[in-house]
Structure 1
Amino acid sequence: MRIERSTGVEHLGTVRIHGVRRVLELDSGARTLTALKESVEAQKIERDSIDVILPKLAIVLPTKNEDLKVFEGVLSGVPHDCMMIVVSNSQRGEIDRFISEQEILSHFCNATKRNALIIHQKDPYLGKALAEAGYTEILDEDGLVRSGKSEGMVIGILLALLQGKEYVGFIDTDNYIPGAVWEYAQHYAIGFSLTDSPYAMVRILWHYKPKISGELYFKRWGRVSEITNKYLNHLLSTKGKFETEIIKTANAGEHAISLSLAMKLTYATGYGVETQEVMSIFEQFGMLPITEKTATEKGIDIIQTETINPHLHEEKGEEHLLQDLLMPSLSVIYHNPSCEEETKQLIAKQLVELECIKPDEAVPAQRMIPPPETANVERFTSILEKHLVDYAVPKGWSLWTRLPLLARKAETKKVVFTDLDGTLLHPVSYSYAAALDSLRELQKAGIPIVFCSAKTRLEQQVYREELGIKAPFIVENGAAIVIPKDYFHLPFSFSRTLDDYYIIELGIPYQQVRDKLKSLPDKCQAKITCFGDLSIEDLAKLTGLNLRMAALAHQREYSETLAIQGDKKQIRSALNSLKEIGLSYTFGGKFWEAYQGGDKSKTTKILIELFRLNFGDIAAIGIGDSENDEPMLAAVDMPILVQRADNRWKKLKVQNLQLVKGVGPEGWS
């Protein structure tokens, strides 16, 4: 396919809203051996780029009592490599439209050698599974899924997740043109191929929306879309200094979302769902604070494309347009926390003029459905699994061989990050004996134990071998992560290899730190002793380590340990001097660490992400004793602080910090 090049981008926080890009050619030909120079106006999307996306894309087809011939035509337009998920809320009973839909889908899949899912919104087992998963906001008083388009879309999202898909697209089943359905799926694939972000949404602008009024009239814009776009753009304009009209797809029923993003969005019930998706993105990722790391690094892309095929569907009347479509769409803008007073007043005035509300009447709020990620997916899976044979088309194909790890696991995996000196190791004796029983229980349960310490790689190796610990470890206060080569099965970036380890380095080499320390100003009045300047014997005396461990502590690779003596003013002056020469520092309770580039928080987060990529969702637990551990404790899900040698806890600024009694390993246990 060929598509127009980018027509501009608006930014809101980490959100990038791309201008509409028009498709110029549905088939741009096979890849040529010699690349042809493209026009400056056009970008060619190769077939193989589209073909990579389509098998990862589930197409959700919400339907309710649609014409069965039209429904069959929609099926024929969905690309062969996309999985179809039909979510029906059609009539049951003596005249059972749902059974007819099942029969049509079954015949189609048998004839075309395809697999699909079809489920009724009021299926009692579906309601039970959602209730058990704690996702009751989607259920009615009878314990069944409420009637509504957005409820059907959320069901489609959950089923796409359980089938291991990466993207989910939505296509209405009242579309009279199968070629348009095919084109929509191509647009979805093109959009996702144009972004590197795992958080992306592709929204389609119809080239024409024909109406039948004695003759076929090709109308350029829908009335509801014009109005909703107007106020969504007005809201966006208030967030910057320039007016914008970049949003053209506020009511795009045909759209697709990456599963990573779809699981995080809040959905509105009724026909305000498409507008609410955009508002949820603005609210979560367009305003501070933004807590999602990947969103901060990669951003969120809202990609808009314009079709060649017109969109021809059944007309449902003016009252349907205003009350069922426009009112909910403007309501979700009006009631969103990001909407300021000026936009609210304009929306209320518009609704009064259209007689949607009375002059003294408040704009009604829409019911919201929380993000699907708040549901217990494992519980949902376990309940629904035995009934999936009833949803599979053709009967008997093996759905659950495709389940992702997230939906298979029995429980969230735990990982323990622990400091050594003063935490797992006693602050005086350096013994871990008091924590040994608890440590063995963790190992028996298969819970990884990650050392995160100021100690050197060689020092930590001794304790890892003594305790039989195989997990990766963080050395010299976050200067580097050391990962056994056979530990993670998925590839990742690393700085170098050493023996049987991959090493991810954040800190500069030790010798560069030493060179910087030589430039400390002579005016520094505090006495500063560098470990690198001491003999092994003197180091053992200063630290209380035995000669073997003192020798290993001497072999630093990224940081220098300092003993700083003086009064408070002199010590503060010495620390300021370290900053002046470009070094950072932390205090471990006895000694200071000088380094550049190391970061306990960042290395902890990197390891957490590697654990999640390889083992699914995890709960990270962190245990420490001093301010040196604060970055690590702030990065985990459950931070724990043990008492120091004086039986007190260090005051740290860490949210949800749990204080446990016991000095070092006694508290650790």
Structure 2
Amino acid sequence: MNVDTLCFSQILEANNLYDLNYFFTRTAFVIAHKNERLETLLGVIWYLPINSPILIVTNCPETEKEELACALTRQLQHRQSYLIHQKDPALAHFFAERGVQAILGSDGKVASGKGEGMYIGALIARLLGYPEWIIFYDADNFVPNALMEYTLAMSRLFMEEYMTRSCETEKFHNVRICWSSKPALGCNCITPGIAECCTQVVSSIMTKLLAAWFDIEDRTIISANAGEQGFAMDTLQALRFSSGYSIETFQLLDLLAKALLPATQLQPAHVILQQYQAQSPHFHEQRDTEHIKRLIAESLGSFYCFQELLPADIVQQLRQTQYELSLQSCPPLVYPALRELSLEKNERFVNHYRLFEDNDTIDQEMDICS
């Protein structure tokens, strides 16, 4: 079990930037979109590699989906862009056929929620067949040049491991971005090291659990709720997903649990968790108190999915925290890992969401939408 928190003295060091083209062409970027303005979404995508598949998973009002698709087609230069609406009946049918009924709401469509959107993005990346890494970014990034630092850092960390990996044991690799600051737009200064309340609450419990599970006393978890993160594709396919805002915390717990030694295995998996401390400030939508409380409640609920593995003092701390913050216990729904669904490459299904045809010119696409 390797847990490292790191930053780079320089993000652009020629000797440490491995083959960027190799990484970019084999990395899928999933953008979680809900009701962010088109200009904000376009700004996020502008900072992503032009030769990477871009998977925009949106839960915007269904009546606005076609307008969004045409606007993206007119303005995007990223030819490998896909727009997937969370409520698309084809997705619901796909999951139902594979026994993932829990993800469907009372209307028969995929339920709303961030975890559900990430599950969809991971599914589409898997069906593409070729991505070796997958990176998740949120669309509510108002100064998205920070994404360039995140992407370069993750390319460096993933490629360093890729160049030295061996087949001796199964490896799981997750890189999580930790923001240097979260200033509000319009403020007069940028203060480094401001941690969100949700991160403070959840990560402190995660740090104690890390010590209890692995006897690691000199590492601190600061990324339990990291919205910007990346995985080796093999890693993500082995992890389960969960509903709503629980997803980042739940998958971190599921990742750490892979390093525990089951009775049926001769050795545990090798888990690499890297927390990258970004130098760029992160500007995003400011949330109200009720939203933050919901984030904390759903994140803490993730721990109860692993209750049989939790020490008694961790359970006590969870209950005490919920009591002090007046939070209800809300364990999430859990969805099976992608590798349990026996998926194979399916270009026909994925191409249903592609914004550009291979042989179409941008002018042709603009004519279609005009």
Do residues 114 (structure 1) and 84 (structure 2) align?
no
Could you tell me which amino acid in structure 2 is paired with residue 108 of structure 1? Q
| CA-to-aligned-CA distance 1:292-337 (integer Å, 9 cap, x gap) | 98x64xx2211111112111101121110112x1111122124413
1:193 correspondence with 2:164? no
Partner of 1:218: 191
1:60, distance to aligned residue in structure 2 (A):
0.3
Q: Name the aligned partner's letter for residue 370 of structure 1.
A: P
**1:320 aligns with one of 278, 281, 291:** 291
Deviations 1:145-173 (A, max 9, x none): 11111111111111111212111110000
What is the SS of the residue equivalent to 2:9? strand
Q: Does 1:24 align with 2:6?
A: no
TM-score, structure 2 length as denominator?
0.87
Shift of 1:212: 4.5
- What is the alpha-carbon distance in structure 1 between the residues aligned to residue 230 and residue 261 of structure 2? 23
1:603-618 residue pairs with structure 2 within 5 A? Answer: none
Residue 62 of structure 2: SS of its match in structure 1? coil
Rounded Cα–Cα distance in structure 1 between residues aligned with 2:87 and 2:16: 41
One-letter amino acid of the structure 2 residue matched with residue 59 of structure 1: F
The equivalent position to 1:141 in structure 2, one of 97, 106, 122, is 106
Name the structure 2 match of 1:246: 220
Name the structure 2 match of 1:151. Answer: 116
Question: What is the CA–CA distance in structure 2 between the aligned matches of 1:288 and 1:278, rounded to whole Å?
Answer: 18
Counting matched residue pairs gives: 350
Q: Measure, in 2, the Cα distance between the counterparts of 1:28 and 1:214.
A: 32
Residue by residue over 1:8-43, the C-alpha shift from the partner in whole angstroms, topping out at 9 and shown as x without a partner, is xxxxxxx322x21112223224xxxxxxxxxxxxxx
Relative to structure 1, the CA distance from residue 191 to residue 104 in structure 2 (aligned partners, 3 Å threshold; closer, same or farther) is farther
Correspondence for 1:160 among 120, 125, 129:
125
The answer to whether the 8 Å contact 1:115/1:397 transfers is no
Greater strand share, 1 or 2?
1
Within 5 A, what are the aligned runs for 1:401-420? none
- Helix, strand or coil at the partner of 1:100: helix
CA offsets 1:466-518 (integer angstroms, 9 cap, x no match): xxxxxxxxxxxxxxxxxxxxxxxxxxxxxxxxxxxxxxxxxxxxxxxxxxxxx
Report the Cα offset of residue 103 of structure 1.
Answer: 2.4
What corresponds to 2:353 in structure 1? Answer: 391
Deviations 1:183-221 (CA, angstroms, capped at 9, x unpaired): 222222112112226521111111111134754553521
Could you tell me how far 1:84 is from its partner in structure 2?
Answer: 0.3
Read off the aligned partner of 1:286 and give its amino acid letter.
L
Q: Is the 8 A contact 2:181 2:190 kept in 1?
A: no
| Aligned partners of 1:133 and 1:377 also within 8 Å | no
Note the 1:525-544 alignment, pairs <5 A: none
What is the CA–CA distance in structure 2 between the aligned matches of 1:240 and 1:374, rounded to whole Å? Answer: 27
CA contact under 8 A between 1:55 and 1:82: conserved in structure 2? Answer: yes
Aligned partner of residue 209 in structure 1, secondary structure: coil
Partner of 1:208: 181
* 1:235-314 alignment runs, 5 A limit: 235-241=209-215, 243-289=217-263, 291=265, 296=269, 299-314=270-285
CA distance in 2, matches of 1:347, 1:212: 34
CA 1:91–1:167: 2 relative to 1, 3 Å: same
Deviations 1:228-279 (A, max 9, x none): 1100001111235553442111111100111111111112211111111111
* Structure of greater Rg: 1
Whether 1:364 aligns to 2:330 is yes
Secondary structure of 1:208's counterpart equals coil
CA distance in 1, matches of 2:264, 2:189: 48
- In the alignment, the residues of structure 2 paired with residue 175 and residue 321 of structure 1 have an alpha-carbon distance, to the nearest angstrom, of 18
Alignment partner, residue 365 of structure 2: none
Please give the alpha-carbon distance, in whole angstroms, between the structure 2 residues aligned to 1:214 and 1:166: 40
Q: Return 5+ residue gaps in structure 2 as ranges.
A: 361-370
1:460-479 equivalences in 2 (<5 Å): none
Question: How has the CA–CA distance of structure 1 residues 320 and 106 changed in structure 2, closer, same or farther, with 3 Å as cutoff?
Answer: same
- Percent identity between the aligned chains? 25
Retained in 1: the 8 A contact 2:11–2:153?
A: no
| Structure 1 residues without counterparts, runs of 5 or longer | 1-14, 30-43, 358-362, 399-669
With over 3 angstroms needed to count, the CA separation of the structure-2 counterparts of 1:222 and 1:290, relative to structure 1, is: farther
Question: Deviation at 1:388?
Answer: 4.5
**What is the CA deviation profile of residues 507-559 of structure 1, one whole-angstrom value per residue up to 9, with x for unaligned ones?**
xxxxxxxxxxxxxxxxxxxxxxxxxxxxxxxxxxxxxxxxxxxxxxxxxxxxx
Q: CA 1:241–1:116 in 2, change beyond 3 Å: closer, same or farther? A: closer
SS in 2 for 1:304: strand
Instruction: Give the structure 2 partner of residue 375 of structure 1.
Output: 341
Structure 1 residue 66 corresponds to structure 2 residue 66: no
Per-residue deviation at 1:61? 0.4
For residue 397 of structure 1, report the CA deviation from its aligned partner: 5.5
Cα separation, partners in 2 of 1:52 and 1:214, compared to 1, 3 Å = closer
Residue aligned with 1:24, SS: coil
Change (3 A) 1:80 1:213: closer
8 Å contact from structure 1 (residues 265, 371) kept in 2 = yes
Q: Which residue of 2 aligns with 1:182?
A: 148
Alignment CA distance shift 1:274-1:292 (3 Å): farther
C-alpha distance in structure 1 between counterparts of 2:78 and 2:203, whole Å: 41
Tell me the secondary structure at the aligned position of residue 138 of structure 2.
Answer: coil
Distance 2:16 2:37 in 1: 35
Looking at both structures, which has the greater relative contact order when contacts are Cα pairs under 8 Å and sequence separation is at least 6?
A: 2
- Residues 113 and 154 (structure 1), Cα distance of their counterparts in 2 relative to 1, 3 Å cut: closer
Whether 1:340 aligns to 2:325 is no
> Relative to structure 1, is the Cα distance of residues 307 and 74 closer, same or farther in structure 2, using a 3 angstrom cutoff?
same
**Equivalent in the alignment of 1:629:** none
1:114-161 CA deviation, whole Å, 9 max, x = no partner?
221111011111211222233323222333211111111111111111
Deviations 1:22-71 (A, max 9, x none): 12223224xxxxxxxxxxxxxx512x433321211000001101122111
Per-residue deviation, 1:341: 1.1
TM superposition shift of 1:282: 2.1
Q: Tell me how far apart the structure 1 counterparts of residues 67 and 56 of structure 2 sit (CA, whole Å).
A: 13
8 Å CA contact 1:284, 1:290 repeated in 2 = no
Q: How does 1:532-611 map to 2 (within 5 A)?
A: none
- The AA in structure 2 aligned to 1:226 is Q
Amino acid of the structure 2 residue aligned with 1:340: P
> Aligned AA for 1:129?
F
Deviations 1:434-464 (A, max 9, x none): xxxxxxxxxxxxxxxxxxxxxxxxxxxxxxx
SS at match of 1:102: helix
| 8 A contact 1:134–1:376 mirrored in 2 | no
**Distance apart, 1:290 and its partner CA:** 6.0
TM-score, L = length of structure 1: 0.49
Contact 2:31 2:139 in 1 (8 A): yes
User: Closer, same or farther in 2 for the Cα pair 1:67/1:341, shift >3 Å?
Assistant: same
Secondary structure class of the residue paired with 1:61: strand
Structure 2 Cα separation of the partners of residues 132 and 211 of structure 1: 45
**Aligned-pair CA distance for 1:389:** 4.4
Distance 1:352 1:85 in 2: 39
Partner Cα separation in structure 1 for residue 177 and residue 201 of structure 2 = 17
